[in-house]
Amino acid sequence: MSLPAIPDVGQVAPDFSLKGPGGAPHTLSEWRGDKNVLLVFYPLAFSSVCSHQLPELEKALPKFEAADTIVLGISVDSHYANAAFARSLGVTFPLLSDWKREASAAYGVLIPEAGFSGRASFLVDKQGRIAWREVSENTGSLEDVPSIDDALAVLTQS
């Protein structure tokens, strides 16, 4: 099985509908024309690097909100596991379940042999296009987590 390529800056972001808190569906295209969206793919709930990465995003949430941007975390975990993970970390932005691995595959970040996604962030502008992306080479390295500052810099330039 060959995966789709990672979408390039300027390309239309692949749409998805994933279960979030309480099992409610979250669809990327619902934000088109209204908000920028930062998609944060993380491998697994309760893993050590993810447990550091998501609270750092939570701290930066006011800056993203000031830039008219919502943050969505995405993993292959169930929406139940993601809800427990969010509670344990004090994370308030939605963590979405890519249970069927369709969003991870569409963004070219699924690691089929592992069954989960790599660590990657995609900034989707209000027109639904990729404005910035960063894909980690090493999912287990804290030093290789996509940069919050780089995403914010793109938002303040536009």
Least reliable range by pLDDT among 15-24, 38-47, 67-76: 38-47
- Determine, yes or no, domain membership for 121: yes
Helix (H) or strand (E) holding 102: helix 102-106
Residue 77 to residue 74: CA distance in whole angstroms? 9
Residue 153 to residue 158: CA distance in whole angstroms? 9
| 50 has catalytic annotation | yes
Specify the CATH number for the domain of residue 140. Answer: 3.40.30.10
Residue 136 is predicted with a pLDDT of: 82
Domain that holds residue 102: 35-157
- Determine, yes or no, domain membership for 22: no
> Which of 38, 45, 50, 151 does the annotation list as catalytic?
50
Residue 52 is predicted with a pLDDT of: 74
Domain total of the chain:
1
Q: What is the pLDDT of residues 54-84, one digit of tens each?
A: 899 999 999 999 999 999 999 999 999 999 9
Instruction: Give me the amino acid identity at 131.
Output: A
Q: Is 93 left (phi over 0), alpha (psi -120 to 50) or beta?
A: beta
Model pTM score: 0.93
- Determine, yes or no, domain membership for 122: yes
- Determine, yes or no, domain membership for 27: no
Residue 131 is predicted with a pLDDT of: 96
Q: What is the pLDDT of residues 100-156, one digit of tens each?
A: 999 999 999 999 999 899 899 999 999 999 999 999 876 665 566 778 899 999 998
